[in-house]
């Protein structure tokens, strides 16, 4: 369904009462050039998993083995066929920008070599549709979805061979789409992908070892470090390629995206407080320290010892400063408990190296929706500002989870978005260099952990409907009013 009007009548027909002029900030308070948008990812939204020449990614393999409550992204929100309708909705909502990701195995089905003309055409169509509606495309190249063929051939990110293949894939994207795409993220949630895929083994490619996880292959004591190292080298290689061959002509920007959880000490003991500091340094510094200073954090090198791969002088030079912007995703807070480091490094996984245990906060375990804790996002932005020379930042994901089948009147989402957007404004006023905010997600889609049980969309997708009809939730109206400077926010 496309087409909805922003009349008070429409709002009231949704049963909304209490629309008032309030809210202590408006879009005009943000610096000019600030982009507001929404996000999606290929596997979670496109569907058409076996169509037009696409081959499986590690995420297809993961879901088909039943690890996401039996759900898969085979059809997802069918963005592959419905992109025109979706871009129309984005334009009506008033988005400045849209963050989507490219499915590597749709564009280059063998991982390297021939380009799939149908895949190329799909991304060209999507980009052109966005541009013709005045919406800037922000594109990520890898979002947990390496082509399975490269995983099978050499173990994917645990092999150095990935650097060459990733760089060539990036080259194809820059060459084919870079005339229109100006914001490139190489790897989405690089730190989460390394940890949950190679230490805990709870996301693709599901590599880990006992007692840290239950996988059929992998090594939790080393592989997260190795995968992260190859991610950094691949990122830097793509960045340098862009700088050398494309930057002068295309004038775009290349960055990497990490997730920042807010870490909160479990108790007020000194030990938990110090462990929380270590966790913060580690989760952000793992990637940002080498990207800023050319080497891993001293803290990490000390605790992981020889398990941390070393950069050669040349690699260090390539990695240092290979960042036009940092993508930062933020959702919720996690409690940190100090764990003494009794095992030797060769028997420890990453958490054990840091000397921590991560625990869901009581808040998270006791309610379905995320607790609304925007002040932690402000602390993270302040931390990055102070420790890493205040980089340019795009918030590429931030959003509220609700049960998928619950009401269209998604007040918890409105409250969440309002609180976080307001906090970002406060941080900008205090000197943080945030240039854009993208809420996850534009549409309901296939979720990494919950499949179709929870959703984050501004638009509801009825997954039982053969047409996969889209319907605006109240949050879509709220965001749209905010973006269109209608001068109202909901009374929250």
Ligand X SMILES: *[C@@H]1O[C@H](CO)[C@@H](O)[C@H](O)[C@H]1NC(C)=O
Contacts to ligand X by CB under 6 A: 24-25, 214, 264, 333, 361, 363, 371-373, 378, 382, 386, 403, 405, 422, 425-426, 430-431
Number of helical (H) and strand (E) elements in the chain, helices listed first: 19, 17
* Residue number, 321 or 371, with CB nearest to ligand X: 371
Contacts of 438 (CB under 8 A, 6+ apart): 35, 36, 37, 38, 39, 97, 99, 138, 394, 395, 396, 397, 398
How many other C-beta atoms can be found within 10 angstroms of the C-beta atom of residue 66? 10
CA angle 201, 205, 211 (to 5 degrees): 20
* Residue number, 109 or 374, with CB nearest to ligand X: 374
* Residue number, 21 or 313, with CB nearest to ligand X: 21
Residue 111 beta carbon to ligand X: minimum distance, rounded to whole angstroms: 27
Overall residue count recorded for the chain in this entry: 492
Residue 422 beta carbon to ligand X: minimum distance, rounded to whole angstroms: 5
Is 338:368 a contact under the CB 8 Å cutoff? no
The CA distance from 165 to 461, in Å, is 35
Let me know if 397 is a catalytic residue. Answer: yes
Using Cβ positions, the residue closest to ligand X within the complex turns out to be: 371
Is 371:364 a contact under the CB 8 Å cutoff? yes
Let me know if 315 is a catalytic residue. Answer: no
Residue 104 beta carbon to ligand X: minimum distance, rounded to whole angstroms: 27
> Alpha helices of 221-335 — where are they, by DSSP H?
223-245, 247-250, 270-293, 298-304, 313-319
Which of the following is catalytic: 92, 189, 315, 369? 189
Residue 22 beta carbon to ligand X: minimum distance, rounded to whole angstroms: 10
* Residue number, 137 or 265, with CB nearest to ligand X: 265
For residue 77, the Cα-to-chain-centroid distance in whole angstroms is 18
- Please give the DSSP secondary-structure letter assigned to residue 51: S
The CA distance from 359 to 269, in Å, is 16
How many other C-beta atoms can be found within 10 angstroms of the C-beta atom of residue 169? 25
* Residue number, 168 or 450, with CB nearest to ligand X: 450
Residue 310 beta carbon to ligand X: minimum distance, rounded to whole angstroms: 33
> Alpha helices of 66-217 — where are they, by DSSP H?
79-93, 104-107, 117-132, 148-154, 161-177, 190-198
* Residue number, 232 or 425, with CB nearest to ligand X: 425
Residue 21 beta carbon to ligand X: minimum distance, rounded to whole angstroms: 15
Is 2:92 a contact under the CB 8 Å cutoff? yes
As annotated, the active-site residues are 189, 397
């Amino acid at each position: 369904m496309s087409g909805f009007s922003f009349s008070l009548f429409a709002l009231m027909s949704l049963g909304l009462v209490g629309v008032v002029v309030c809210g202590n900030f408006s879009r005009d308070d943000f610096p000019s050039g600030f982009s507001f948008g929404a996000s999606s990812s290929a596997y979670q939204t496109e569907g058409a998993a076996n169509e037009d020449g696409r081959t499986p990614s590690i995420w297809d393999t993961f879901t088909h083995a039943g690890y996401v409550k039996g759900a898969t992204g085979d059809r997802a929100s069918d963005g592959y066929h419905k992109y025109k309708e979706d871009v129309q909705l984005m334009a009506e909502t008033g988005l400045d920008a849209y963050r989507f990701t490219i499915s590597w195995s749709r564009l280059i089905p063998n991982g390297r070599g021939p380009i799939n003309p149908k895949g190329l055409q799909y991304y060209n169509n999507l980009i052109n549709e966005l541009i013709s509606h005045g919406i800037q495309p922000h594109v990520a190249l890898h979002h947990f979805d390496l082509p399975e063929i490269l995983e099978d051939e050499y173990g994917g990110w645990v092999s150095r061979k990935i650097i060459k293949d990733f760089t060539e894939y990036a080259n194809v994207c820059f060459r084919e789409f870079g005339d229109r795409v100006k914001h490139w993220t190489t790897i989405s949630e690089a730190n989460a992908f390394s940890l949950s895929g190679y230490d805990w083994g709870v996301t693709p490619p599901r590599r880990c070892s006992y007692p840290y996880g239950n996988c059929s292959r992998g090594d939790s004591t080393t592989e997260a470090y190795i995968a992260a190292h190859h991610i950094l080298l691949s990122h830097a290689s793509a960045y340098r390629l862009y700088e050398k061959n494309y930057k002068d002509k295309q004038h775009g920007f290349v960055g990497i995206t990490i997730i920042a959880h807010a870490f909160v000490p479990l108790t007020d003991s000194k030990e938990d407080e110090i462990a929380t500091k270590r966790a913060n340094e580690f989760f952000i510094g793992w990637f940002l320290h080498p990207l800023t200073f050319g080497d891993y954090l001293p803290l990490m090198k000390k605790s992981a010892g020889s398990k941390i791969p070393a950069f050669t002088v040349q690699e260090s030079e390539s990695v240092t400063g290979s960042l036009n912007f940092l993508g930062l995703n933020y959702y919720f807070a996690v409690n940190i408990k100090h764990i003494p480091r009794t095992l030797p490094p060769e028997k420890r996984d990453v958490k054990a190296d840091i000397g921590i245990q991560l625990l869901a906060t009581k808040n998270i375990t006791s309610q379905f929706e995320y607790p609304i804790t925007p002040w932690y996002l402000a602390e993270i932005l302040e931390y990055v500002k102070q420790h890493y020379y205040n980089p340019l930042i795009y918030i590429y994901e931030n959003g509220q989870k609700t049960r998928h089948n619950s009401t269209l009147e998604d007040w918890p989402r409105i409250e969440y978005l309002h609180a976080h957007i307001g906090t970002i404004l406060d941080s900008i006023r205090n000197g943080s260099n945030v240039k854009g905010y993208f809420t996850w997600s534009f549409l309901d889609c296939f979720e990494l952990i919950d499949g179709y049980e929870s959703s984050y969309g501004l638009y509801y997708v009825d997954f039982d409907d053969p047409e996969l009809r889209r319907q605006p939730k109240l949050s879509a109206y709220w965001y749209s009013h905010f973006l269109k400077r209608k001068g109202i926010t909901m009374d929250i």
